[in-house]
Amino acid sequence: MVSATVELRNVEGTQAAMGWAGGHTIVVDRPEGKAGGMGLGFNGAQLLALAIGGCFCNDLRYVSAEMGVELGGIAVSVTVEMQGSPLIATSATMTVSCETRDGSDPQQVVDRAKEVCTVAHSLRRGVPVTIQAAA
């Protein structure tokens, strides 16, 4: 089994959090004026959209390498729709555009990436989330 762990801690002097995995960091916050937020970083919905789109961008590269197709530019846009109370994500729509270096149709690469995208498949199948207090 493969696993990934991230850590988050509050940022001193703010109500934002700093998250990290290895040497990579990200700031998480609420919009300015919302529950003490200062707009210093991404909110949860934005992070969810980034996880969906970022995973797909990586999978496009993995798949293109497997297929021996060199990709040029990639553009991905993800919109997460939310509703209810508590607010929950109800859908996500991703728009993908990419180019191949040789000018061939990239659709096979996009289709294969759809088949293997970890985050998209995990969300579609429903990932159990356990929340527990630290000992």
Query: Residue 121 in contact with residue 92, Cβ under 8 Å?
Result: no
Question: Quick one: DSSP state of residue 8?
Answer: E
The pTM assigned to this predicted structure is 0.93
Place 135 in a pLDDT band, splitting at 50, 70 and 90. confident
C-alpha distances in Å from residue 21, one per residue of 100, 106, 118: 31, 32, 18
Average of per-residue pLDDT across 9-15: 95
Query: Position 103: which residue type?
Result: G
Query: Residue 89 in contact with residue 80, Cβ under 8 Å?
Result: yes
> Helices 44-67 & 118-125, crossing angle to 10 degrees?
130
What is the rounded distance in angstroms from the CA atom of residue 127 to the CA atom of residue 74? 28
| pLDDT tens digits along 42-98 | 999 999 999 999 999 999 999 999 999 999 999 999 999 999 999 999 999 999 999
What is the rounded distance in angstroms from the CA atom of residue 100 to the CA atom of residue 70? 6
Q: Is the pLDDT of residue 118 over 90?
A: yes
What is the rounded distance in angstroms from the CA atom of residue 42 to the CA atom of residue 36? 14
Instruction: Give domain 43-126's CATH architecture.
Output: 2-Layer Sandwich (3.30)
C-alpha distances in Å from residue 4, one per residue of 20, 75, 123, 124: 11, 26, 16, 19
Of all residues in the chain, what percent carry a pLDDT higher than 70?
100
Mean pLDDT of the chain: 96
Q: Which sequence spans correspond to the domains of the chain?
A: 1-42, 43-126
